[in-house]
Structures are given as structure tokens and as C-alpha cells.
Amino acid sequence: MKIAVSSCLLGEKIRFDGGDKHDHFITDELGKFAEFIPFCPENLAFKTPRPSVRLVKVDGDIQVHSNKTGDDLTLPLLKTSQEELTKLESQPLCGIIFKSKSPSCGMKSAKLYLENGFCDGKEDGVFMGMCRERYPLLPMEEEGRLMDAWLRENFVMQVFAYDRFETLKASTPTLGKLVRFHTVHKFMLQAKDEQLYRELGNIVANRDNHSFETVFAMYELGFKTAIGRKSSIKRTRNVLEHLAGFFKKELSTGEKEILHSHIQDYADKIVPLIVPLSTIHLYAKKYEIIYLLEQVFLEPYPKTLALRSHIDSGK
Ligand code: SF4
């Protein structure tokens, strides 16, 4: 799985002042499961160290100016940003992680200045804006936002789901494979967006007899849109109750009470999601409910990332 990352977040001493912004979650945790493709359009344009730059609004356009001399550096930065984008286009990416607040890499977090020096809000950095336009469905986040347990869990789930879809796409897919893919993603999709889950079900049912290529393209658009939605405790709770329904006949009264109290405690933010999920996993194994054991929702990414063990990973 390949993820493009701002070079300074990988620990490369490539910032304007010769420093880095090493992010250990990215390199030490995510790095166990991903290959990183680094980029740095500023180093490519101006080398390191270099004078810092800022975004400046001039006659309605956004330019890049040197903080030291005030020179307009927009063209050289656009040129190297395009070169970095071309490099990324040659890679089968499953996501991009940007450095926050940077005039090149920030996601709506780079300060935009007026010519008189006043701040006029925040914008996408130059390179980030190009990526947003080129990859509207690709998972993208900033390292700053990934400090938030909920955003981190959503992003990692999205990246791994994107990777699974790309693997399916590369495997000479058939309608049978697509139906299977949809089936095992049922509860993950429901936790993201119930309406889109139903629409995806209609797409794979193909009542209008579209060609498989059309069905697959429609499914890809819907699936990649759905996995970009953020999960909520309310929707996740509904999914957990739904999963609990699969044990209705098998569970003893005591087991039912335990499961429902775990779900309620999750909804009340007393325990993290991993608690009711582990209980469901346990019962699914005990009573051999294969349909549940195959659901991606139970383990949407390697469990050692432990992102659902955090109370704040639900909102
Ligand atoms: S341009 Fe981007 S990758 Fe390069 S140092 Fe600045 S934030 Fe980091």
C-alpha cells in the first residue's frame, strides 16, 4: 500500500530552516503497513535551507511571495509542484498525508495574506490544491488533524478500504467478486452512510442490465465516496445492535445482557468501540456465525494499530 507524504513528516531535514517535522505515528505505526512516497515541492524549487514563503492575495489571485524579499515565487513553485504531482501520478496511491499550515502542503490551513500584511483567512497550499483537483476521491489528511483520534481512525479506515478496492480492481474483477466485496463491507458501509450503502446494493443488483464496466465504475464512485464519510457513534451503535441481532437465538440471557451493556457503554462514551466489538467477535466465533466473522467492519485495518481502543475515536 503506497501513501504519499510530505517529506518533512518523514523526518527529512528539508524545511526552509533545514529542520524536519518528523511524525512518529506516520513513520513508526502506519509505516509498518505502508510504503511512503515522499514529496517536497519547495525543496525542489528553492533547495534547503531557503527563505520561507507565504500565500498572498493579489488582485483576486493567490501568489507565493518570499517572506524575506517579497519576490513573487509563484511560477517556480507551480513548476516543481507539477513535477511532484507527475511523480505521484506514476504511483498506485491509496492516500496522501500533508504537512499542515504550509503554503505548499497545508489543507485549508495555510494562512493567506493581503498585500498590506493582514491575514485574510486560510487556504489550500499550492501543491495540496493541485492534488485535491487531481484526486477528488483519494483519502487525504494533514498530520495535524490526524492527532484527533476520531479523524485518525476514519482516515486509516478509509485508506485501507481504498487499498482493498484497488486490489479488487487489479484482480480482473467479475460481478461475483464485486458482490462478494460489497457483502463483506456491508456493516462498514452502513456505519459510514446507510443511504449510500443501499445505493451500492442497487448498483450490484444491476436491475437495469448495465455492462459490467458501467456497474463497476458506478460502484467505485459510490464506494470511494462512502468510505470518505465520517462514522458517528449513533450510526455505529445502530450497526452494533444490528450485529447483536445475529445472536438472538444463540445467546443466553446473561450473554445478551453483557453485549447490550457493552453497546450502551460505548454509546455513552464510557468504553471505546473495541469493547463491544470484541464481545461480538467472541460470540461470532463461539457460535460460528461465519457471515459476521467475514465482515470487514470487525477488523477494517491491522488490529495492532489499536485505533478503536481510544475513547475519543468515536464522536
Ligand atoms: S513544502 Fe511541504 S514537504 Fe516541503 S518542507 Fe514544506 S511542508 Fe514539508
Q: Residue with the nearest Cα to atom 8 of ligand 1?
A: 8
Spacing, Cα 127 to ligand 1 middle (Å): 10
Joined together, the cell numbers standing for residue 106 give: 497545508
Judged against a pLDDT cut of 90, whether residue 84 lies above it is answered with yes
Angle value at C-alpha 278, between 147 and 261, nearest 5 degrees: 100
Q: Which residues pair with 53 in a beta bridge?
A: 66
Q: Is the shortest distance between the CB of 105 and ligand 1 below 6 Å?
A: yes
Give dist(CA 23, CA 38) in Å, integer.
Answer: 13
Ligand 1 closest atom vs CA 6: 3
Q: State yes or no: pLDDT of 133 exceeds 90.
A: yes
Q: Cα–Cα distance between 282 and 275 in angstroms, integer?
A: 11
Ligand 1 pocket, residue 226 CB under 6 Å: no
Q: Which residue has the cell 442490465?
A: 209
Instruction: Answer yes or no: is the C-beta of 81 below 6 A from any ligand 1 atom.
Output: no
Cα-to-centroid distance, 312 and ligand 1 (Å): 29
For residue 55, what pLDDT band results from cuts at 50, 70 and 90?
Answer: very high
Q: Give residue-wise pLDDT tens across range 267-281.
A: 999 999 999 999 999
Short-list 227, 265, 261, CA closest to 244 = 261
Omega before 49 within 30 of 0, i.e. cis: yes
Average pLDDT of the residues in 132-146: 97
Q: How confident is the model at residue 210 (pLDDT cuts 50, 70, 90)?
A: very high
Q: Where are the beta strands (DSSP E) in 9-69?
A: 35-39, 53-58, 61-66
Place 248 in a pLDDT band, splitting at 50, 70 and 90.
confident
With 0-12 / 13-18 / 19 or more C-beta atoms within 10 angstroms meaning exposed / middle / buried, residue 249 is: exposed
The pLDDT of 204-208, averaged and rounded, is: 95
Query: Average pLDDT in the 40-69 region?
Result: 97
Average pLDDT, the chain: 97
From the CB of 5, is ligand 1 less than 6 Å away?
no
Ligand 1 neighbourhood includes 102 CB (under 6 angstroms): yes
Is the pLDDT higher at 77 or at 247? 77
Residue 200 confidence (pLDDT): 98
> For ligand 1, what atom is nearest to the CA of residue 38?
3
190 lines ligand 1 (CB under 6 A): no
What is the per-residue pLDDT for 213? 97
Burial (CB count within 10 angstroms: exposed 0-12, middle 13-18, buried 19+), residue 257: exposed
Q: Is 80 in the pocket of ligand 1 (CB under 6 A)?
A: no
Is residue 40 within 6 Å of ligand 1 at its C-beta? Answer: yes
**Dihedral over Cα of 224, 229, 234, 236: its sign:** positive
Name the grid cell of 91.
504511483
Q: pTM to 2 decimals?
A: 0.96
Q: Is 8 in the pocket of ligand 1 (CB under 6 A)?
A: yes
Residue of the CA atom closest to atom 5 of ligand 1: 15
42 lines ligand 1 (CB under 6 A): yes
Write the CB contacts of 65 (distance below 8 Å, at least 6 apart in sequence): 53, 54, 56, 71, 72, 73
> Is the pLDDT assigned to residue 47 strictly greater than 90?
yes
